[in-house]
Amino acid sequence: MKLLEVIKSLSNQTRLDILTWLKDPFAYFAAEELDDYKPSLGVCVSDIAKKAKMSIPTVSVYLKNMAAADLLVATRKDQWTYYKRNEAAIQQLASLIKDSL
Amino acid sequence: MKLLEVIKSLSNQTRLDILTWLKDPFAYFAAEELDDYKPSLGVCVSDIAKKAKMSIPTVSVYLKNMAAADLLVATRKDQWTYYKRNEAAIQQLASLIKDSL
DNA sequence: TAGGTATTTAGGTAAATGCCTAAATTTGTG
DNA sequence: CACAAATTTAGGCATTTACCTAAATACCTA
């Protein structure tokens, strides 16, 4: 785990929020958008952009960045890209801070 | 704890390094500089700047910033400002990431 | 008060980040 | 293939961050 890369990818309020939203999609996204929500896939880019009230390209890049830092996992299915949290990486970050920072 | 503020203050390699150095000063600073090292105070600004190979003003601002984020504790004594880690805050950050992020 | 050491504050430039719109690409469908 | 929907890539402007040097301040001691 590249600590600096991970931390940088968390150093923005919107990106922190996205992690929170993806932790419990039903609590944060409109029901219509979760009609066929699958935990194994996550939520697609445009739904996240809508929730963030930001442009799709901006959010697309954020998500890609967070996936590169391994905080999210991307799955392309048909024309959608779904993102979900990488819980193991988040726990690994917590341990790294706890024990090695 | 203001998560974003804390994370921003960690999103720079030098600032991460400083935390590591202060975790075990004897392992990282020259012995001469630790002649009268006291764990309750920490290490002074110019010794940290020297170790970082950066200008004193730059490091002074970094340290102040990290203290504002509560990651470090500053103590002014005579003409020196000493900084040490705030272990409790670092552990709090780890738990926050583990349980709430 | 004068002079010295340590630190902080100011001010400036270069690079990185935040976010947007427009254009290009990917993938499904008639 | 042509067209639509979702996403990504490109390009651009504004703000923030990374650093520096110079100047100001704090605090010592003679």
Q: Which residue in A1, A11, A17 has the most chain B C-beta atoms within 10 A of its own C-beta, making it the best mutation to test that interface?
A: A11
Do B101 and A16 count as a contact with CB atoms less than 8 A apart? yes
Nearest nucleotide to the CA of B77, by C1', is D27
Helix (H, G, I), strand (E, B) or coil at A30: coil
How many A×B Cβ pairs under 8 Å?
A: 53
Domain boundaries of chain A, sorted by first residue? 3-100
B48-65 pLDDT per residue, tens: 999 999 999 999 999 999
What's the confidence (pLDDT) of residue A90?
98
How far, in Å, is the CA of A58 from the C1' of nucleotide C23? Answer: 15
Share of chain A above pLDDT 90, in %: 98
The CA–CA distances, whole Å, from A85 to A49, A57, A90 equal 16, 20, 8
Pick B3-100's CATH classification: 3.30.1490.20, 3.40.1390.10, 3.40.1190.20, 1.10.10.10: 1.10.10.10
Interface of A with B (CB under 8 A): 3-4, 7-8, 10-13, 16, 19-20, 23, 90-91, 93-95, 97-98, 101
Mean pLDDT, residues A67-83:
97
Q: What is the pTM of this model?
A: 0.93
Residue A28, burial from CB neighbour count under 10 angstroms (0-12, 13-18, 19+): middle
B7-51 pLDDT per residue, tens: 999 999 999 999 999 999 999 999 999 999 999 999 999 999 999
Residue B1, burial from CB neighbour count under 10 angstroms (0-12, 13-18, 19+): exposed
Start-end of H helices in chain B: 3-10, 13-23, 25-28, 45-52, 56-68, 87-95
Residue B91: pLDDT band with limits 50, 70, 90? very high
- Cβ-proximal residues to B79 (8 Å cutoff; 6+ apart), any chain: none
Share of chain B above pLDDT 70, in %: 100
A38-57 pLDDT per residue, tens: 999 999 999 999 999 999 99
Mean pLDDT of chain B: 97
How far, in Å, is the CA of A92 from the C1' of nucleotide C14? Answer: 35
How far, in Å, is the CA of A82 from the C1' of nucleotide C20? Answer: 23
- Give contacts of A95 with chain B, Cβ < 8 Å: 94, 98
